[in-house]
Each structure stands twice: as structure tokens, then as C-alpha cells.
Amino acid sequence: MPGLKAIADPLEGVAQSRAVSWHAAGVGIAGAVSFALAGLCDSLAGPRAAFLFGAAAAAMAFLMAATIMPSTLPRRAAASGVLLDFRPVFRNHRAMAWIVGYTVHTWELAALRAWGVTFLTVTIARLGAPAWLPSPAVLFTLAGLAGVAISVTGNETAQRYGRNRVVLAAMLMAAALSLATGWTTGVSVALAIAAVFVWNMAIYIDSSALTAGTVQAADPHLRGATMGLHSMSGYGGGFIGPLGVGLVLDLAGGNSVTGWGLAFGHIAAITLMGLLILRKLGRGDKML
């Protein structure tokens, strides 16, 4: 979030929204490629190498921030309110609408990201697959990269046709696909792969639009606090999402067709509940 704030502060309007979408694209690309790189590191030097690579990447990011950010940050805006006082942010219903939407978005994104490779692995083990088929890690990397392209396109579409339509369509599609994807493990490998790809892309459609909505709805003097709450809430959902899938999977019989169907399917209720709250909080917002 500090990096995103550094990008957003000097910009306004469409340029700001576009910059936020490209920031989200960078995060998505890194997240997608991480699966293939982790598999490559594991095959070359064992699982520890994947964690060492992650540590090296974090160190590189620190050096880049220390070198570049001090020379590009704008002057600080006048301080407003008390540090870590989020009450003014909670009173901003426009911003809170987008924050709720982002929380649900990250909830379902993290759930699929945490369990997608496992789901494809057990489906291939259950049904078999041709030798030429890429590994589940590579397949999910490709799904993630496709999602990134959709994320940028989704933000541009939101600029033209309104965030309301894009977010509504994306969340309804994601809910429907979460209901369907788990059951494909008992049908065919090709269908399971296609379902994971399409569901992942549906999740990504409103990714940039939601974050851009929060940035633009924030009081400029409270943008840091607003984005902090946006991030904390979103990744709180991202923490719970994978746990929910694992819990339902255990309760529903483990690695079975029914287990996966219910484990992924329960996310639809979360998505639809978030959509209702988002629209209620966002009443009166022209973008909603």
C-alpha cells in the first residue's frame, strides 16, 4: 500500500485509475509467475530453494524502494486526525463500499490461489491426463497471467461503462463459477482446467476497478488510512478464504467430488453477501 500510495498521490482521475490498474497487474504477474518459479526451484534444488528465491526477491524490492521512492514521493499533505484513527474512513460509505468489495474479491482470489494447484493435481491423479499436459503449477501460472490481462481490461471497461456494471457482472460470474468448478473434478481434466481458468479470470475482472474505486473515493488527506484499511480488510479476507475451503473440504469428506464441490461452492454465498453490502453502502455513488 505505501508503494501504491506513492503512485496514486501525484495523479488524479483516469490517469490515477489506470496507474492503480497497472500496479495491480504487476502484483498479479508476480503472483502468477511465482507458481512456475516455485516448481522450477523445487525441481532444481529442492523446496528450500523456492523460499530462498522469495527472500532474494524481497531484498531486491527493498533495495528498489530505498533507491527510487525517496526521489519520487510528492510533498507530504498536511496531517489530518490521529495516527491509526480509522473512524473517519468508516464514515466514508463510498470508500467502505469498495473496501467490502475488495475484501470479498481477495477472499475468493486467495482461496483459489491457495487450492487451485492442489485441485488440478488431484483431478489429474483421479482421472489421468496425457503426458504432454503441463504440470498443475504451470497451468495455474497461465491462468494467473490470463487473469492479469483481464484485470487491466476490466479497469478500462469500468472507466468507459461504469464500475457498477463491471463489478456486478464480475461478482455474479465468480459466484456462479465457484458453484460449478469443484464438481468438474469428477467429470474431466479438460473441463476442470477450463473451469479454473474462467473462474480465475472472472475473479480478476474487478480487481483493479475495486482498488481504483477506493483510491478515488478516499479523502485526499486520509488516503493513507483509507488504503491501509483497504489492504488490511482485503488480506484479512485473503487469510480466511483458504481456511474456509480447507474446513469445508474436511467436513464434506475430504478429497471427493462432493468435497470439492462444496468447498469451492460455499464461496458463492460469501461473494453474493459482499455484493449486497457493497451496493447498500454505495447508494448515492454515481459509480455504483
Round to the nearest angstrom and report the end-to-end CA distance of the chain.
24
Say whether pTM exceeds 0.85: no
In CATH, the number for domain 2-74+91-281 is 1.20.1250.20
Query: Which pLDDT value is given to residue 155?
Result: 67
Query: Which pLDDT value is given to residue 81?
Result: 58
Find all residues with CB under 8 Å of 145, minimum gap 6, and list them: 29, 32, 33
pLDDT along the chain (288 residues), means of 10: 74 72 76 81 88 91 81 53 77 90 92 93 90 87 82 72 80 94 93 94 84 82 84 91 95 91 95 90 62
Q: What are phi and psi of 143, to 5 degrees?
A: -65, -40
Query: Which pLDDT value is given to residue 284?
Result: 56
Query: Which pLDDT value is given to residue 262?
Result: 96
Task: Quote the cell numbers at residue 226.
Answer: 483509507
Query: Which pLDDT value is given to residue 123?
Result: 94
Query: Which pLDDT value is given to residue 176?
Result: 95
Residue 109 and residue 172: Cα distance in Å, rounded? 14
The closest of 59, 52, 73, 69 to 10, measured between CA atoms, is 73
